[in-house]
Structure 1
Amino acid sequence: MNNNNKIKVLLVDDHEVVRAGFRILLSSQPFIGQISDLDRGELVTQEYERFKPDVVVMDLSMPGIGGLETIRRLQKLDSDAVILVYSIHDEAIYVERALEAGAMGYVSKNSAAEVLAEAVKSVAEGKRYIEESLLPEVDDVRHDNIEHYRKVLDLLSPREFDVFCRLAKGMTAHEVAADMHLGYKTIANYNTQIKSKLRVNTAADLANIAVVLGIIKP
C-alpha cells in the first residue's frame, strides 16, 4: 500500500457505465485512495507501471486480449501484482482459470456492492478472496471432477479459452473476431487449434464440453 495507507485501484472494464459505478462505490470507502481506469486489457501493463496501483480490479469478458490474457501479462510484468476479478461469470471454471492465471480474488457482478469493497481491502492485505456464494461450486469441481477438469483446462491457452467460450456459446467465427477485435482468419485458426486440442470436430462438440465444465447451462 502507499504511504497514506490508502489503496490505489486500477479499474479495467470495457463498459464506461460500469467503471463510473465502481468509482463511485470505491471512492466512498475511507480506505480507498486514487483510482484510475481503462477500457481494455491492451493498455493495462503500461498504466500499471505508470500508476503503480495496489489492486487491479478487472473484468474477464473484454474485447481484444480479454481478462485472462491481461492477468497473465500483468503477472509476467510483476509477479506480485494484486488482481481482483469482478465478472458477470459465476461458473466455477472461470473462477479456477482466473486464480490459475494469477488473480488473488474473484467476485461476481451479481454480488452486493459492499462485497466488492470488502474484496478489494482483503486482497490488498494479501488475503485471497472468493465470494462466498461461489465457493460451493468451486469446491464441487475440485473434489468431484478435478482430474478431467484439469486435463481439459491445461489444453487451452488463455486466448484459446476466450475463443472457445465464445464459440461454445454459439457465436460464429465472424462474431468472435468482431467481439475480440481480431481478424477472421486469426479466429478461424484458433477454432481449428482448439478443436484439434480437444479432439472434436463440430461447434456442437464444443458446446457439450462447455456444458460439462459449467460454462454454459444445459
Structure 2
Amino acid sequence: MIRVLLADDHPVVRTGYRRLLEQAGDVQVVAEASDGDAAYAAFIAAPPDVLVTDLSMPGGGGMELIRRVLLRAAAARVLVFSMHDSPLLVRRALEAGARGFLTKASAPDGLVVAIRALHAGQRYLGPELPAALLQPREPQPETERLATLSAREFEIFKLLAQGHSSAECAQVLRLSPKTVANHQTLIKEKLGVVTSAALAHLALRHRVIDAAGA
C-alpha cells in the first residue's frame, strides 16, 4: 500500500482527491493538511511514501514545504499537483527537490499514475508538460527573472517589497486575497526567492524601491 500525505488548502478538493486515490486499491491517504506548516508537521509525525502538495497555500506555500521536507529527509518523494503550469514554475519546483509535477488539468487517473511512478523511484511529469523541463539548466540572471513578471505581478511585487501584506495588496489592487496569494507564489518562484526579506532585497538591488520603501 502506498501511503500518501495530501496537502491542499481546499477541503472539498482534498476530499475529491482522497476518494479518487483510495479507489485505486493500492493507495491510502494517511494524512491531510490545509497549509504548509501543518503539512510539514504531518510529514515529521509520520513520513509518507509520497507527499502530494499544491503550491498556493498558507503557511509558507508548497515551494517552501518542499524545501523544508527535503532538508529533513533528502530521499522524500514529493509530487506537486497544481493549477499552475508555467514552465518556469515547474522548473523551480523540480529544482527545489520535487520528483514530479502534475497539473490539475490532467486526466483524473493521472494522479494515481504519478504517485505510483514516484513510489517506484521514478521522476514524473504530466503528459501536458514538456519533458525537457527535467533537464538541468543554466542559472538565470536576476534582470531576466524580473523581465518575466507580468504587469500585474510587477505591481504586487513592488507592494510586497515595500512591506505590504498580501491582504493589503488585495485591498489596494481590488483583488481577492486568493488571487494575490496565487500571484505571490508565482512571483517568488519567477524571481527565485523564498522569503519576503529576500524579495525586498532584490527590489532594492534593482531600484524597484528605494531604501525608504517608496
Give the TM-score of the pair, scaled to structure 2.
0.71
Residue 22 (structure 1) shift:
0.7
Specify the code of the residue in structure 2 equivalent to 1:98: A
Query: Pick from 103, 106, 122: which aligns with 1:108?
Result: 103
Query: Pick from 157, 161, 176: which aligns with 2:166?
Result: 176
Structure 1 residues 89-110: Cα deviation after superposition (integer angstroms, max 9, x where no partner): 1010111011111101000011
1:17 aligns with 2:12: yes
Give the gaps of 5 or more residues in structure 2: 169-176, 182-194, 210-214
SS of the counterpart of 1:103?
coil
Return 33-42 or 110-119, whichever deviates more. Answer: 33-42
Residue 31 (structure 1) shift:
1.2
Structure 1 residues 115-168: Cα deviation after superposition (integer angstroms, max 9, x where no partner): 1110011001110001121116738xx79xx54x63349x89xxxxxxx89972
Contact 1:14 1:38 in 2 (8 A): yes
Query: Pick from 148, 151, 169: which aligns with 2:141?
Result: 151
Residue 77 (structure 1) shift:
0.7
- C-alpha change, 1:14 and 1:169, in structure 2 (3 Å) is farther
The aligned residue for residue 42 of structure 2 is 47
4+ runs deviating over 6 angstroms:
164-167
The aligned residue for residue 96 of structure 1 is 91
The aligned residue for residue 201 of structure 1 is 208
Residue 52 (structure 1) shift:
2.1
The aligned residue for residue 59 of structure 2 is 64
Residue 70 (structure 1) shift:
0.6
SS of the counterpart of 1:29?
coil
**Structure 2: how far apart are the matches of 1:54 and 1:9?**
6
**Structure 1: how far apart are the matches of 2:56 and 2:80?**
10
Query: Could you tell me the percent identity over the aligned residues?
Result: 33
Specify the code of the residue in structure 2 equivalent to 1:95: V
Structure 1 residues 25-80: Cα deviation after superposition (integer angstroms, max 9, x where no partner): 10100111243100011122321122221000000011230111110000011001
When the two structures are aligned, how many residues end up with a matched partner?
A: 178
The aligned residue for residue 206 of structure 1 is none
Specify the code of the residue in structure 2 equivalent to 1:40: D
SS of the counterpart of 1:110?
coil
Pick the structure with more helix per residue. 1
Specify the code of the residue in structure 1 equivalent to 2:111: L
The aligned residue for residue 75 of structure 2 is 80
- C-alpha change, 1:114 and 1:188, in structure 2 (3 Å) is closer
**Structure 2: how far apart are the matches of 1:68 and 1:176?**
17
The aligned residue for residue 27 of structure 1 is 22
Contact 1:9 1:54 in 2 (8 A): yes
Give the gaps of 5 or more residues in structure 1: 1-5, 157-163, 181-186, 203-218
Contact 2:18 2:29 in 1 (8 A): no
The aligned residue for residue 192 of structure 2 is none
